[in-house]
Amino acid sequence: MAAFGVVVLAIAVNPVIPVVPKAGLRHAPRTEHATQRFEGRPVECTSGKPRLAQSLVRHMVNSLERRSSRVSIALYDRTSRTSCTYRADVHYDSASTVKPIVLGALLLAKGTDLSRKERSLAREMIVNSDNDATYALWDLLGRARIQDFLDEAGLEDTDLNDAGFMGLTQITAREQVKLLQLLTGEDESVLSSRERAYVLRLMREVQDDQRWGTPAGAPSDAVVQVKNGWLQRSEDGVRSSWDRGDWKVHSMSAITGSSYDYGLVILTENNRVPEGASPEVGCDYGMETIERVAKAIHRDLHPAETPEVRRASRPLVSTAR
């Protein structure tokens, strides 16, 4: 893949508190809101589907218990009018999840009339997560054009690294999910439908060994567009309490096709490498944390369609002849 001792935290779990909507206009859509504090921050969901917000909050908290990763989550589901957040405004090093932003900037600047070389670089950047291809496009565009895309897309809280390190772009879960909404929506003001389809097609074709994370547990008949990122911030020494050779591991997916229309972003850090262990252990720990959360969310949104439920619902077949 392209480059880009665990302490268990004591957790006080509070009950999920459903918030009953106030009476409004007669034809206003009814929504339910639920919240629960976890490690001092609220896990919040709002949904137009009865009891879904409460279920999502409860299961997200359960999936995070006994994990030492620091986690941020943002979710939208257009079909059920559902949204969830947890620490969604906290900044993280982007690692490779900045790459759809670079592609968006390329398309904003040039449209889909790209040269053969530009198309090749774009494919290598998204499908293979190739860093050299990303920097080639980064240099071709220049910082100003990438910032133009951020401005046009309303990603005001995403900050490019001053020294030009693409993987150290500062992102939030809230703005990464906003990017997914832009790519899967119908708004033509930033990118045309053809340009958005181009980005999503490359995200659908991401190589198999990079399709971990938020796709875990997604409906088996869904179309999954994914981009992940992983970065070990420092290898030696203690630079700060949150930067001791730990891994930043992120995943973002747009789930479409059939009746599906939702997006999920999960960002993690503090995925530590225990003394004497292989460095990959920290990355694997972050991946596992993401997939625990993702499976819980997919199961709540579409319980009858997730792989686990489908396997469990298969009729038993007698082996007698």
What would the pLDDT profile of 103-131 be if each residue is shown by its tens digit? 999 999 999 999 999 999 999 999 999 99
Per-residue pLDDT averaged across 229-240, rounded?
73
Give dist(CA 156, CA 153) in Å, integer. 8
Asked if residue 233 has pLDDT above 90, the reply is: no
- The dihedral through the CA atoms of 144, 149, 153, 157 has a sign that is negative
Longest dimension (CA), the chain: 71
pLDDT given for residue 316 in this prediction: 40
Q: Which two tokens stand for residue 195?
A: 């340009």
pLDDT band at residue 278 using 50, 70 and 90 as cut-offs = confident
Per-residue pLDDT averaged across 9-31, rounded?
56
Q: Where are the domains of the chain?
A: 17-303
Asked if residue 140 has pLDDT above 80, the reply is: yes
pLDDT given for residue 315 in this prediction: 43
- Residues 148-185: pLDDT tens digits? 999 999 999 999 999 999 999 999 999 999 999 999 99
**Quick check: helix, strand or coil at residue 63?**
helix
- Residues 235-261: pLDDT tens digits? 655 556 556 678 999 999 999 998 999
pLDDT band at residue 10 using 50, 70 and 90 as cut-offs = very low
pLDDT given for residue 243 in this prediction: 61
* Mean per-residue pLDDT of the chain: 88
User: 17-303, what's its fold?
Assistant: Beta-lactamase (3.40.710)
Residues near 49 by beta carbon (within 8 Å), at least 6 away in sequence:
80, 81, 82
- Residues 60-80: pLDDT tens digits? 999 999 999 999 999 999 999
Q: Which amino acid is at 33?
A: H
pLDDT given for residue 71 in this prediction: 98
pLDDT given for residue 305 in this prediction: 72
Which is more confident, 225 or 2? Answer: 225
pLDDT given for residue 244 in this prediction: 63
